[in-house]
Structure 1
């Protein structure tokens, strides 16, 4: 298990299966995001993961906070800072990154990401022109949902790190023409020029 030091304490990510088992207690929609969403799409493990990302809609934040009532939960309300998320608090719109651990002296175990929505549509928080029906945002597999690979790649397209480039290369051959077209159009809207667009055939 990778252990990473941060200014707010060490990260020691929980096994994905443990986080999925915990989240099954949430009645609201949720899905596996981040690098694991790509790895699940590929169908095999191919790199280490420093964290586990779980995403849900902002409008369901109270439900997930109640589910985690026995956990130590902090939110990045101001970039570069963390503060406790009170049980009955509704987080402000700028807060979308949440860190979770069993107790205040333990390592951080997984992250929650709050996504935006308008009715039945998901909205990309970095560029609200990019949206899609919630019904097509995730893929259900093995009894839980994961973020569609083209949407996860869109998140990874800003400031591409080596692990993001690896994820792109691993999942690219598996993307359908429809998924490639969607990602290419989204990259054009957000970035205009992006090296992945040529690889997608955009």
Structure 2
């Protein structure tokens, strides 16, 4: 299976696919940052959609009628048959066995009313407050949360550094403070983005 064969849906196509789904979802990754500033910063090889783990069965029921869903876990890809996923965070989606990958689902966790950052569960936020919406009514992950995912990764890629530098002028004081607090929480020994 070619993991590099991506022909991602556009943001508008994802919005069209998900808008009638009875769940809260949003665009994530680099596209979320683009949506925040209203223009495309760089090329994207894929497109990510965030959903709450508690809605996974609704997502599966809706998508599995026309798409094949693969769970990604510890470097392997296996067809997801709808079983509850507690440890799996990523789902790759394609139309059929021969087609390219179309989009990636990313499960995030919620405890009570709060979204929980799984890499450091003391970092949390009201679940109702993790998304913003464009004037075209497309929901996307807040930039400071998206940057925390990028900066909190075990491998910070060149594109993550580029996204960080590009987004800095667009973040409010509150967004920057929240991000710095999150990075300090996860990396008490220091992080190069806040030095």
Give TM class, smaller chain.
over 0.9
Q: Does 1:146 align with 2:140?
A: yes
Q: How does 1:141-180 map to 2 (within 5 A)?
A: 141=134, 142-157=136-151, 158=153, 159-180=155-176
Whole-angstrom CA distance in 2 between matches of 1:85 and 1:9? 20
Q: Which residue in the other structure is 2:121 paired with?
A: 128
Query: Structure 1: any 5+ residue segments left out of the alignment?
Result: 1-5
| TM-score where L is the length of structure 2 | 0.93
Q: Which residue in the other structure is 1:31 paired with?
A: 26
Q: Which residue in the other structure is 1:103 paired with?
A: 96
Match of 1:66 among 33, 58, 61: 61
| TM-score where L is the length of structure 1 | 0.90
1:104 Cα deviation from its structure 2 partner: 1.1
Q: RMSD across aligned C-alpha pairs, in angstroms?
A: 1.3
Q: For 1:13-70, what per-residue CA distance to the aligned partner results, in whole angstroms no more than 9, with x for missing partners?
A: 1222111110112111000000001111121112100000000100000111111122
Q: Which residue in the other structure is 2:107 paired with?
A: 114
SS at match of 1:195: coil
SS at match of 1:82: strand
SS at match of 1:36: helix
Query: Structure 2: any 5+ residue segments left out of the alignment?
Result: none
Whole-angstrom CA distance in 2 between matches of 1:165 and 1:42? 17
1:144 Cα deviation from its structure 2 partner: 2.3
Match of 1:182 among 155, 178, 182: 178
SS at match of 1:41: helix
SS at match of 1:109: strand
Q: Conserved in 2, the CA contact under 8 Å of 1:25 and 1:67?
A: no
SS at match of 1:169: helix
Whole-angstrom CA distance in 1 between matches of 2:167 and 2:173? 13
Q: Which residue in the other structure is 1:197 paired with?
A: 194
